[in-house]
Amino acid sequence: MNLNPFSLQNKLILITGASSGIGRQCAVACSGMGATLVLFGRNSERLNETLNLTGNPGNHMVVSVDLMEYDTVKDAVKNIVIQKGRVDGLINCAGISTTLPLNAVSPDKMEHFFRTNVIGGINLTNQVVRISNFSEIGGSVVFISSVMGVAGENGKSLYSMTKGALIAAVRSMAIELAKRNIRVNAISPGVVETPMSKNAIYSRDEESLNRITSLHPLGLGQPEDVANAAVYLLSDASKWITGTNLIVDGGYLAR
């Protein structure tokens, strides 16, 4: 009998964006807590790198798929259930970021960002939580949002509108799926040191990076800070938490 409420033993967890950054660290953390994983990403080589970091690669599965190919995603979920059984949890990590002034934001850019950051993850969730695909006893869905979904910043209108949409959607999904004991929550990180953040505009010169760092009283985050929060929301330790947005930001919003 497992008395650790944070354990993910005997749980099948899907993780998108698992080829790098927060998604990769979520895979490592979930595997360490005993989960069986299905890792989603577009780059199979980098997915296999993540697989080898889990410490138990033979127990897991990688699926190279573009979340924008909706029919392919539907078939991939069906195939996972056939091979691995019903899903217990999902972490939606896949996403993109940018810093653009409002006058550079076009309808095409908005459509691209919404498809990538919102529609892809919610469509996958819709497929995963279908009665035939999800655990009969319930489980947990986690969306990686951002503090930019609730706070303003120069040049972040495009990114913020997509992350704010996720936070809003989480609340309604949580209400709708509660009758099946499926919990839905978001995590909103501040700036985390990942390959994505290292390519951001603010990382290109020391002055800008120091300014961003100063906005986080505890300093910039590490991928494990977010991954540990995701483990908590997937585990039975959070069994009475749904429809919330867990802030993991090193004090950014406390200013």
> Mind telling me the catalytic residues?
159
Run of H or E residues at 142:
strand 139-144
Q: What are phi and psi of 253, to 5 degrees?
A: -80, -5
- Provide φ and ψ at 41, rounded to 5°: 180, 170
Contacts for 122 with CB less than 8 Å, ≥ 6 apart: 169
Tokens, residue 22:
């927060």
Q: Dmax of the chain from CA atoms?
A: 58
172 three-class SS? helix
Q: Residue 29 — φ and ψ, nearest 5°? A: -70, -45
The string of DSSP letters for 159-178 reads HHHHHHHHHHHHHHHHHHHG
> What single-letter amino acid sits at 20?
S
Q: Determine the Cα–Cα distance for residues 54 and 35; give it in Å rounded to an integer.
A: 10
